[in-house]
A and B are shown apart, each in its own frame.
Chain A
């Protein structure tokens, strides 16, 4: 498949459009972002839950991802507490997935024959999701632009068939395409709007919230409430609403972590609690799939 790459630099939003179009043509269901705070595209139920069970599934979507501890008040050119991932999940993993991926780079103006594209070992594990996979981070001239993972386990369950997950870090990728040193200088659209115009204020304010103002007493309580709710919903065997509640736990935990009020020992304990929730939800989901 040959993509015409226009002379002008691809904007942030065009990059998204092209990836959506590309994966749409590959038969993926193009979804919109999940409407809850999550740490990565993997947490979208279209990936976590759909990767479990025997039914084939192909999807692609943008997912705003929140990592409270990575906030830098908008001062650091490479770090954000809120950023975008473009996520592709295909089950079972197709034979020609590497070719599909490399062609997707062409669709956003990266000619893989002119760059040093490298598949560098990077095995992935998510303790909160009870998930693990083997794969690579993909380097383009030394810059990590994509995570490429074959799921082996999700929610504590062995994946059969195995899904492949491709996660593009959109900001990084665009910094590469647009040749920018700071994420805030990225061109968002053809009208000259920049990433800074859109997100700088938000980075600043959310960093303050995450690191300084988040009411930790309340958050601890909120965590307990969502945890309780998850357990109740698991008992009722409705996995999707249960998973929503679990995602909320996960995000609250992330803020508490950023606020520095969770000790190392406590940290392990909280992660284990969330993992238990995910596992119980995974079980209910699988039962509904066969």
Chain B
């Protein structure tokens, strides 16, 4: 059995491109082996450091046997030239060509004997194309070359069965050599197998395997935080990025001046994480500490790295502190007027215009939520002022959060501050969801105003493009409503938002916006339910003919049914429904019109009467207020009819000779289905 070992050496490839390249290479090489029916160890891995993309697969046969095959050539009536071409291209002679009749006529054939092919030959022939197939999210050209790659590609090492594979990839010839130093690219070394390669680099402290690097970094960090009684936030994205920007990780714990802890922690954390890729630490009470981790790519033997990084964070935090001190005292209310100078969106006015609309909208929502109108109006008025601060200029990702801190510093009500701070939440499917009613109200009015605005100026997302992240906005709106069990009249709110725009002179077509937005939001609800792993047929049923005001109902119903559909109560209820509706469906085909009620006077036996009574009991239950919102209970009630239904079907023949009796029985079944439909559209559920 043989091994394939390839290393692509380049200048430093960014973390996300590296991860993507690993996946792409893995996929492409796997497809190659499968397409060519070559056996290989399917548990193979692709590794990378910033400079090296490494592929290693073992358990590959060195030869594969191709079965004999008959290759069809030209039709026997085709000109002789075609036959000659066929003979030439198959590298054979006229004697070996034979005629054979197929469905499409008589053709020349050539029988290719079974033969053996060296896998190394196949690889040499195909590797270049396998590499070409790697797609980069972002790629570049360099020097005079035409090749696009994540960063300049310098050399390719390719080994099969301990021997070099020779192929040409654009301007680069593969070989059995690579550069052992990433910086100067001076020392070339020959490698004939993967193990000696890994061993060689390990001796230099370089870990090719990203998972190993991750483990080592995490172990080292855990060791230190345990000793120091600290915690770190589990931030997979950041850790993965760090893992992929070093080849020989060294974890260093550093600290900054405690005085900076007076600055809001979000600002400090953002500075450390997104600007410097540091890992902040927290004490056991989850308060930020002045210790932080740097993962260096070099052993800090002289202490330069620690010193340097501490100086950098000092300078960065000084900047942040300077802005915080300056901005926090700038009166939020007095600055509101200045929002007139800041454009919200072309065609949708300034931020001042936006907050006027949001104020009206949130005030209406406050009636539904039974929260203070004054407070939510204040929150709406000042919520965008932080956009003008230096801090948001420096840390755009902290918009809202910074505003909340300003408000807190200036003595605004606690709920107002929180609402400002959470106004952009949730931001999509995964993000944190505000729970407090003021926060929900502000966030709802922000999102509704944006959605109506963008639909109003016809900037709806298309199937492929959504530059303003409008889908995410709508998904966030859906989450606000369903996850918080918010009872609002969304339809009316959309109309109201349109009128707020109209008051400012925007000529929006309310009817059109309402329809389009309604479809759009319900579509997002479906996506949302899909993400929640709700069965597709349940999603379709629960959103069938759904009104915008019933998002919450649809959500709860589908959750309930999804949970119970595999349980006895679920499939029994469906069985009852299906048994009845199947008969109705066949009868409908022979066009018996049902009216929706049965006549008790026409019942012939107790089974009919009992079923009729049960149906009416259930109907009564659903009529009592609020009962229809306890979906678990309702399902139980519905399933309780199964005895009556089974008795009915076991003892009563629907298809009575008397057409009137028959019709009455169908009416009874129809009543049953209608009752079930009130709760849930079972007809779309696959049993």
| A→B interface (CB under 8 Å) | 76-79, 92-96, 98-99, 102, 112-121, 123, 133-134, 136, 140-143, 150, 152, 159-162, 164, 176, 179, 181, 260, 263-265
List 5 tightest A-B contacts by C-beta distance, closest first: A141-B308, A121-B14, A142-B309, A119-B12, A134-B140
Check A98–B313 contact: CB distance below 8 A: no
Cβ contacts B158-186/A at 8 Å (1 or 0 each):
00000000000000000000000001111
Check B312–A142 contact: CB distance below 8 A: yes
Set A142, A152, A164: member contacting B313, Cβ < 8 A = A142
A-B contact list, 21 entries, CB within 8 Å: A76-B322, A79-B319, A92-B142, A92-B143, A93-B142, A96-B185, A98-B11, A99-B183, A102-B183, A113-B298, A115-B298, A119-B11, A121-B16, A136-B12, A140-B308, A141-B307, A142-B276, A142-B312, A181-B315, A263-B342, A265-B346
Interchain CA distance A159-B140 in the complex, whole Å = 11
Interchain CA distance A162-B308 in the complex, whole Å = 34
Minimal beta-carbon separation of A57 from chain B (angstroms): 13
Q: Which residues of A contact B311 (CB under 8 A)?
A: 143, 179, 181
B296-326 at interface with A (beta carbon < 8 Å): 296-298, 300-302, 304-305, 307-309, 311-315, 318-319, 322
Is there a chain A Cβ closer than 8 Å to B196's Cβ? Answer: no
Q: Which residues of A contact B154 (CB under 8 A)?
A: 95
Cβ contacts B244-271/A at 8 Å (1 or 0 each):
0100000000000000000000000000
Q: Which residues of A contact B245 (CB under 8 A)?
A: 118, 120
Q: Which residues of B contact A123 (CB under 8 A)?
A: 138
Is there a chain A Cβ closer than 8 Å to B343's Cβ? Answer: yes
Nearest CB in chain B to that of A102: its residue = B183
Check B304–A115 contact: CB distance below 8 A: yes
Minimal beta-carbon separation of B248 from chain A (angstroms): 11
Check A264–B142 contact: CB distance below 8 A: no
Q: Which residues of A contact B302 (CB under 8 A)?
A: 114
Q: Which residues of A contact B314 (CB under 8 A)?
A: 181
Is there a chain A Cβ closer than 8 Å to B50's Cβ? Answer: yes
Interchain CA distance A206-B139 in the complex, whole Å = 41
Minimal beta-carbon separation of B620 from chain A (angstroms): 61
Check A141–B297 contact: CB distance below 8 A: no
Is there a chain A Cβ closer than 8 Å to B152's Cβ? Answer: yes
Is there a chain A Cβ closer than 8 Å to B65's Cβ? Answer: no
Nearest CB in chain A to that of B241: its residue = A121
Check A141–B309 contact: CB distance below 8 A: yes
Q: Which residues of B contact A113 (CB under 8 A)?
A: 298
Cβ contacts B592-626/A at 8 Å (1 or 0 each):
00000000000000000000000000000000000
Check B304–A114 contact: CB distance below 8 A: yes
Interchain CA distance A162-B277 in the complex, whole Å = 30
Is there a chain A Cβ closer than 8 Å to B231's Cβ? Answer: no
Q: Is the interface of A mostly helix, strand, loop or mixed?
A: loop
Check B140–A152 contact: CB distance below 8 A: yes
Given A78-B318, A78-B319, A134-B151, decide whether A115 and B305 contact each other with a Cβ distance below 8 A: yes
Minimal beta-carbon separation of A217 from chain B (angstroms): 17
Q: Which residues of A contact B315 (CB under 8 A)?
A: 77-78, 181
Set A134, A141, A162: member contacting B305, Cβ < 8 A = A141
Check B144–A116 contact: CB distance below 8 A: no
Chain B interface size, under 10 / 10 to 19 / 20 to 34 / 35 or more: 35 or more
Cβ contacts B183-208/A at 8 Å (1 or 0 each):
11110000000000000000000000
Interchain CA distance A159-B146 in the complex, whole Å = 11
Interchain CA distance A112-B182 in the complex, whole Å = 12
In the complex, the number of residue pairs spanning A and B with C-beta atoms less than 8 Å apart equals: 114
Minimal beta-carbon separation of B117 from chain A (angstroms): 36
Is there a chain A Cβ closer than 8 Å to B141's Cβ? Answer: yes
Interchain CA distance A102-B294 in the complex, whole Å = 22
Nearest CB in chain B to that of A120: its residue = B245
| B→A interface (CB under 8 Å) | 11-12, 14-17, 50, 138-144, 151-152, 154, 183-186, 245, 276-278, 294, 296-298, 300-302, 304-305, 307-309, 311-315, 318-319, 322, 341-343, 346
Minimal beta-carbon separation of A27 from chain B (angstroms): 16
Q: Which residues of B contact A78 (CB under 8 A)?
A: 315, 318-319
Nearest CB in chain B to that of A54: its residue = B144
Check B152–A150 contact: CB distance below 8 A: yes
Interchain CA distance A176-B307 in the complex, whole Å = 11
**Contacts beyond the supplied A116-B309, A121-B16, A141-B309: 15 A-B pairs with Cβ under 8 Å:** A77-B315, A77-B318, A78-B318, A79-B319, A92-B143, A99-B184, A113-B298, A115-B304, A119-B12, A120-B277, A143-B311, A150-B142, A162-B144, A263-B342, A264-B343
Interchain CA distance A161-B276 in the complex, whole Å = 33
Interchain CA distance A134-B12 in the complex, whole Å = 11
Q: Which residues of B contact A116 (CB under 8 A)?
A: 296-298, 300, 305, 308-309
Set B144, B183, B277, B343: member contacting A112, Cβ < 8 A = B183
Choose among A95, A112, A260, A264 the residue with the greatest number of B CB atoms under 10 Å from its CB. A264
Interchain CA distance A152-B141 in the complex, whole Å = 7
Nearest CB in chain A to that of B347: its residue = A265
Interchain CA distance A264-B314 in the complex, whole Å = 32
Minimal beta-carbon separation of A207 from chain B (angstroms): 14
Given A76-B319, A98-B183, decide whether A141 and B14 contact each other with a Cβ distance below 8 A: no
Minimal beta-carbon separation of A209 from chain B (angstroms): 20
Interchain CA distance A264-B341 in the complex, whole Å = 8
Set A102, A115, A142, A161: member contacting B144, Cβ < 8 A = A161
Check A263–B186 contact: CB distance below 8 A: no
Interchain CA distance A263-B315 in the complex, whole Å = 31
Q: Which residues of B contact A102 (CB under 8 A)?
A: 183-184
Interchain CA distance A164-B140 in the complex, whole Å = 12
Nearest CB in chain A to that of B350: its residue = A263
Nearest CB in chain A to that of B252: its residue = A116
Choose among B138, B141, B142, B313 the residue with the greatest number of A CB atoms under 10 Å from its CB. B142
Set B144, B152, B312, B346: member contacting A141, Cβ < 8 A = B312
Nearest CB in chain A to that of B344: its residue = A264
Nearest CB in chain B to that of A72: its residue = B322
Q: Which residues of B contact A141 (CB under 8 A)?
A: 304-305, 307-309, 312
Choose among A94, A98, A179, A181 the residue with the greatest number of B CB atoms under 10 Å from its CB. A98
Choose among A94, A123, A162, A179 the residue with the greatest number of B CB atoms under 10 Å from its CB. A162
Interchain CA distance A94-B152 in the complex, whole Å = 11
Minimal beta-carbon separation of A124 from chain B (angstroms): 11
Given A78-B319, A119-B50, decide whether A143 and B304 contact each other with a Cβ distance below 8 A: no
Check A95–B343 contact: CB distance below 8 A: no
Given A77-B315, A140-B308, decide whether A263 and B343 contact each other with a Cβ distance below 8 A: yes
